[in-house]
Amino acid sequence: MLTGRNVVLGVSGGVAAYKAAYLARRLVERGADVRVVMTESAAEFVGPATFAAITGVHPVVDLFDDEDVSPHTTLARWADLIVVAPATASTLSKIAHGDASNALVATVVASTAPVVVAPAMHTEMWEHPATGENIQTLRGFGYTLVEPDAGDLAGGDVGVGRLASPDDIADVVQDALIGGDLTATSVVITAGGTREPIDPVRYIGNRSSGKMGNALAVEAARRGADVTLVTTAPAPNHPGITVVPVETADEMADAVWHIADETQIAIMAAAVADFRPADPETRKLVRSDGPPDLVLEPTPDVLAGFRERAPEATLVGFAAQVGDLSGVEDKAERKRVDLLVANDVSRPGTGFGSDDNEVTLVFHDGVTKALPIMSKRDVAKVVIDTVVELRS
Ligand code: CTP
């Protein structure tokens, strides 16, 4: 929690300013002392009285109309952390250029505290190269960016640029202030479906999208872990994630086993083919050859090989079942995992390719816990929370 921590919330002028009131509330609920500095345009969207009521202190809006003779330096020194949410394109630009012409930017520029920036704007503004350059500049300052979400924007538009949720921003603030619970922990995560070649252009594959593994990688990295994501799928861009792209079960096994002895947590979310063509063609098969006789052979079991090499690591397996989940307790024991995350991939709206998942946690001793349907991001949070608990 954030008891005794001083957080300055900088609010700039976009419609998402109303969400900053929720963020202030979340931070206060977590025990932080919150003071608000807002731009005059932000005050057009949400009245300073709203923030005064939530935080117990009147926000600073005008540098020259405040009881304090130097409100920006007072706030800058008081802050253990400054979070700017929402950060408009204009505020991003001003901070990137040190243009301290309003109370919010003056406070940021006057402070040596860590800074978290949560942008919100229309998609076109977010994608403009000037905004991209300003974001890079802020990253270069060591500021933490909370990327905007995709969704409904002002004026009926839809796209990337919506302010991240107040809870997610509060999580990032908390991690920045007190460190994540996986700081300096090495985590390997497998993701996606393997592709076992039949010939140079065709493969045996499966419908895994890699979304669950990506969500786990982002969540672990957000909490401070050094994540190696061994994946067949497009991967998220995050400074805490090293991506090792692979195609086949063999390549996945090589990559994972190579770092097994330095890994503390392994989460095997990949859908690994159990069999592969024993003798893939080196030339492309053509129709006139007639249907090929595919002889299959087993692939390496990435998870089992990891367990042999890292008996002490915390190991999480996934079990994509079709139909009921009977027998998953045995699988947790057979696979020597600390936790098995089982789901029925045949259900509509969950499983392969979807953004949601409905899973049952199966512990080594056979105890099970069914979770309701939730986003893969939330499943990732629960899985990582459970791993942290198992290790404590
Ligand atoms: N797994 C693996 N390597 C394989 C096959 C599976 O690492 N060659 C991992 C998966 O990533 C998953 C776990 O093992 O975390 C369970 O996968 P699953 O296919 O359910 O296990 P199997 O032992 O193949 O079970 P089944 O008998 O149901 O096929």
Read off the DSSP letter of residue 58.
P
pLDDT in tens, 57-113: 999 999 998 889 999 999 999 999 999 999 999 999 999 999 999 999 999 999 999
**Which of 189, 204, 274, 337, when mutated, tests ligand 1's pocket best, judged by the most ligand atoms within 8 Å of its CB?**
274
The residue type of 376 is K
Of 205, 186, 208, residue with least CA distance to 258: 186
343 is catalytic: no
Degrees to nearest 5, angle at CA 352 with 350 and 353: 90
| Residue 249 CA to ligand 1 centre (angstroms) | 11
Query: In whole angstroms, what is the distance from residue 62 CA to residue 67 CA?
Result: 10
Which residue, 372, 340, 375, is CA-closest to 354? Answer: 375
Q: What is the pLDDT of residues 254-290, one digit of tens each?
A: 999 999 999 999 999 999 999 999 999 999 999 999 9
Q: CB–CB of 30/1 below 8 Å?
A: yes
DSSP-assigned letter for residue 238: -
Average pLDDT, integer, range 39-45: 97
Distance 319 CA to ligand 1 centre (A): 7
Taking the centre of ligand 1 as the mean of its atom positions, its distance from the CA of residue 282, in whole angstroms, is 28
299 lines ligand 1 (CB under 6 A): yes
Whole-prediction pTM value? Answer: 0.75
State the pLDDT at residue 326. Answer: 81
Does 195 score more than 80 pLDDT?
yes
DSSP helix/strand/coil, 80:
coil
| 303 CB within 6 A, ligand 1 | yes
> Which ligand 1 atom sits nearest the alpha carbon of residue 274?
8
Residues 6 or more apart from 109 whose CB is under 8 A from it?
Answer: 95, 98, 100
pLDDT tens, residue by residue, 98-131: 999 999 999 999 999 999 999 999 999 999 999 9
The pLDDT tens digits of the residues spanning 321-366 come to 887 778 888 888 899 999 999 988 777 777 677 888 899 999 988 8
305 C-alpha to center of ligand 1: Å?
Answer: 12
DSSP bridge pairs for 227: 187, 241
The pLDDT score that the predictor gives to residue 297 is 98
Pocket test for ligand 1, best of 252, 265, 335 (most atoms within 8 A of CB): 335
Specify the pairing of strand 158-162 against strand 203-204: unpaired
Whether 319 lines ligand 1, by a CB cut-off of 6 Å, is yes
- Residue entry with tokens 């939330």: 378
Domains of the chain, start order: 6-178 (3.40.50.1950), 186-391 (3.40.50.10300)
| CA of 298, closest atom in ligand 1 | 8
206 Cα distance to chain centroid = 24
Q: Which residues of 171-206 are buried (b: 16+ CB within 10 A; e: fewer)?
A: bbbbbbbeebbbeebbbbbbbbbbbbbbeeebbbeb
Residue with more model confidence, 86 or 223: 86
Ligand 1 pocket residue status of 249, Cβ below 6 Å:
yes
Q: Percent of the chain at pLDDT above 70?
A: 100
> 356: burial class by Cβ within 10 Å (0-12, 13-18, 19+)?
middle
Q: What is the pLDDT of residue 347?
A: 79
- Contact, 8 vs 72, CB < 8 A? no
Q: What is the DSSP string of 3-47?
A: TT-EEEEEE-SSTTHHHHHHHHHHHHHTT-EEEEEE-HHHHHHS-
**Given the residues 6, 134, 206, 214, the one annotated as active site:** 206
Name the residue among 309, 308, 333 with its Cα closest to residue 319: 333
Could you tell me the two tokens for 210? 């890699």
Omega into 86 within 30° of 0, i.e. cis? yes
Work out the widest C-alpha separation in the chain, in whole angstroms. Answer: 87
Strands (E), 207-327: 226-231, 241-245, 265-268, 275-277, 296-298, 314-321
Average pLDDT over the chain, rounded to whole?
Answer: 94
| Closest residue to atom 29 of ligand 1, CA basis | 274
**Using an 8 Å Cβ cutoff, are 106 and 100 in contact?**
yes
CA of residue 278 to ligand 1 center, whole Å = 19
Q: Quote the ligand 1 centre to 186 CA distance (angstroms).
A: 22
Tell me which residue has its CA closest to atom 17 in ligand 1. 319
Any atom of ligand 1 within 6 Å of the Cβ of 356: no
**Mutation probe of ligand 1 site: the residue of 272, 306, 329, 341 with most atoms within 8 A of C-beta:** 272
